[in-house]
Amino acid sequence: MTVHELDAFIDGLPKAELHMHLEGSIEPELMLDLARRNGMNLPWLTADELRAAYHFSNLQSFLDLFWTGCRVLVQEQDFYDLAMAYLRRARADNVLHAELFLAPQNFTLRGIAAGTVIRGVKRAFEDAAREPGISASLMIIAQRHHPEAAAFELLEQMMPWAHEIAAIGMGGPEVGHPPSKFTNFFRECRTRGFRVVIHAGEEGPASYVREALDLGADRIDHGNSCIDDPALVRTIAEQQTPLTLCPISNLRLKVIPTMEAQPLRKLMEQGVRVTINSDDPSYFTGYINDNFKACREAFALTKAELIGLARNSFTAAFLSEDNRQRYLGMIDSYAAGAQ
């Protein structure tokens, strides 16, 4: 297939997204609209001015703007509008299933009720299942720069919605906040029956990825730095612990100097179950198909490899086996018809 044909193939390829922060999907126009709705003044008057601020030197510089964007989310309808906008945009990239991060501490610590946040998001999930036709589930993040006690408080706040939460995770500024800081928290999450996902190895060392494995993570979010520890890579491959890579995010945050430096190809060659995701697509100007295409270009991915990455997104997802097989069958049917 030609490059043009491969990109068209990516556009129609059924896929799941497993690493996307709802707060990071807010487009500039929506951020400004919600600021007006909630009587807030932002430093930017137009969407173009706001987009011009999307230049980051590292993870922390991004988080500073990310948290500013969180301030405009106040009412239940705000969270509905945020989630629905992403789900419509993802469905346009032929995302059929999305498992989405939300960090309630961004809101509850400034007095917004947890129910306001969760109800808005879940209502969007229900409506999106009907139109535009995408299934979605919620993963709750504890912010690692807060103490473990705050994570336990968050866990208690989330218990009324426990049956609707796909996993409990950890995000926020990584350096200086290893996963082991939350050993007791994740032990309690597992005791209560939650799956565990942990951001590790984005800016942190390979040892953080190993700690996440030791804490029983069902998936590692990012995991890039594991490539520095060959024994760790072998363990991840043997256990088939999925890594949710976010290539354009890594480039925008200067985690990697070029797309070719992303460890995707090396990890694939060593049998690691890797997936491609968008992380915070508005801020990094790259939704999931943009990420697939950037990797296709950087690593000369073949049609078979693109299919494998899409299949990984469903095999790594927290789905019932019936739904998983249904989605995998959709990939096979699509691939067979795209010769």
Cα 243 to the center of its chain, rounded Å: 11
Q: Which domain holds residue 171?
A: 3-337
Domain containing 130 — which CATH number? 3.20.20.140
Contact 65, 23 (CB under 8 A): no
What is the model's pLDDT at position 339?
62
Residues contacting 264, CB < 8 A, separation 6+: 245, 247, 274, 276, 295, 299
Q: Given the DSSP bridges, would you call strands 135-143 and 165-171 parallel, antiparallel or unpaired?
A: parallel
What is the model's pLDDT at position 35?
96
Question: By C-alpha distance, which of 11, 309, 232 is closest to 224?
Answer: 232
The secondary structure of 191-252 as a DSSP string is HTT--BEEEESSSS-HHHHHHHHHTT-SEEEE-GGGGG-HHHHHHHHHHT--EEE-HHHHHH
What is the model's pLDDT at position 25?
97
Per-residue pLDDT of the chain (339 residues; tens, 9 = 90+): 899 999 999 999 999 999 999 999 999 999 999 999 999 999 999 999 999 999 898 888 898 889 889 999 999 999 999 999 999 999 999 999 999 999 999 999 999 999 999 999 999 999 999 999 999 999 999 999 999 999 999 999 999 999 999 999 999 999 999 999 999 999 999 999 999 999 999 999 999 999 999 999 999 999 999 999 999 999 999 999 999 999 999 999 999 999 999 999 999 999 999 999 999 999 999 999 999 999 999 999 999 999 999 999 999 999 999 999 999 999 999 999 876
**What's the total number of domains in the chain?**
1
Q: Which residues does the annotation mark as catalytic?
A: 202
Amino acid type, 304 = A
| Burial (CB count <10 Å: 0-12, 13-18, 19+), residue 57 | exposed
What pTM did the predictor assign?
0.96
